[in-house]
Amino acid sequence: MVRIRLARTGAKKKPSYRVAVADKRSPRNGRCIEYIGHYNPMVEPPVINIDLARADYWLQKGAQPSETVASLLKKARAATGSAE
């Protein structure tokens, strides 16, 4: 099964994340199929940059987003004004 989830990057105590499409069994920062965006929670306001077209493509193919990525997708759609 394919999941859309976060892969951690950044320094110690200063996390930032990539939004990754990966096999469910692969490790958090392991091999992924594609990176479709990034998320930086350390700045105010948090930066959410996700390629919604690619996210929709993977969701159509049956990829399941993690709970965190689902909420980030919802916020990204609200910011761009596209409803779904």
CA dist., res. 35 & res. 69, Å (int): 13
pLDDT for 29 equals 85
Tell me the whole-structure pTM to 2 decimals.
0.88
Closest by CA to 20, choosing from 10, 9, 12, is 9
CB 6 within 8 A of CB 20: yes
Q: 2-80: what fold?
A: S16 Ribosomal Protein; Chain: A; (3.30.1320)
Supply 1's token pair. Answer: 């099964």
CA dist., res. 38 & res. 77, Å (int): 15
* CA distance from start to end of the chain: 23
pLDDT for 84 equals 55
**Where are the chain's structural domains?**
2-80
pLDDT for 83 equals 57
Per-residue pLDDT of the chain (84 residues; tens, 9 = 90+): 999 999 999 999 999 999 999 999 988 888 899 999 999 999 999 999 999 999 999 999 999 999 999 999 999 999 887 655
Supply 11's token pair. Answer: 């320094």
Q: Strand 34-40: give its sheet, edge to edge.
A: 47-50, 34-40, 14-23, 2-11, 64-65
